[in-house]
Amino acid sequence: MEKKKTVKSDAEKTEKINFEKALQQLEEIAEKLEDGDLGLDESINQFEKGMRLAKFCREKLDEAERKIEILQKGADGHVRKKEVDVDDGTGEIKNEDDLQGSLL
């Protein structure tokens, strides 16, 4: 990590921003390119940046992995996560046992 600090790739710079900012920047780039006021080099630069942002956005969108967990207090008093099975249509938690033990 330390040595990476000196040379930051664009991907790392992109990592610093969130999805919303990336999307906003992508939109600005699309608009700028559509205006057509940029020279060829700058257009290509901006386009490449835009494609990086689009990739970043797609990755961000797929980052989460569908998982529904319920926090339970074990006998030792520690809270742990337990994955539960949920019916997509109703949102109903399928296994009744999972509902045992609130945080109280």
Q: Which residues lie near other proteins (CB under 8 A)?
A: 18-20, 23, 26-27, 29-30, 33-34, 36, 40, 43-44, 46-47, 50-51, 54, 57-58, 60-72, 79, 81, 84, 86, 88-93, 98-99, 101-104
- Supply the DSSP string of 17-29, one letter for each residue: S-HHHHHHHHHHH
- By the 8 A CB rule, do 14 and 56 touch? yes
Q: Of 8 and 27, which CB lies nearer to other proteins in the complex structure?
A: 27
Q: Of 2 and 63, which CB lies nearer to other proteins in the complex structure?
A: 63
Q: Of 3 and 78, which CB lies nearer to other proteins in the complex structure?
A: 78
Going by C-alpha positions, the residue among 36, 42, 46, 94 that lies closest to residue 70 is: 94
Cβ at position 37, least distance to other proteins in Å? 10
Instruction: Return the C-alpha torsion angle 20, 26, 30, 35, nearest 10.
Output: 80
Q: Which two tokens stand for residue 43?
A: 């257009």
Q: Of 11 and 44, which CB lies nearer to other proteins in the complex structure?
A: 44
Cβ at position 41, least distance to other proteins in Å? 11
- By the 8 A CB rule, do 13 and 25 touch? no
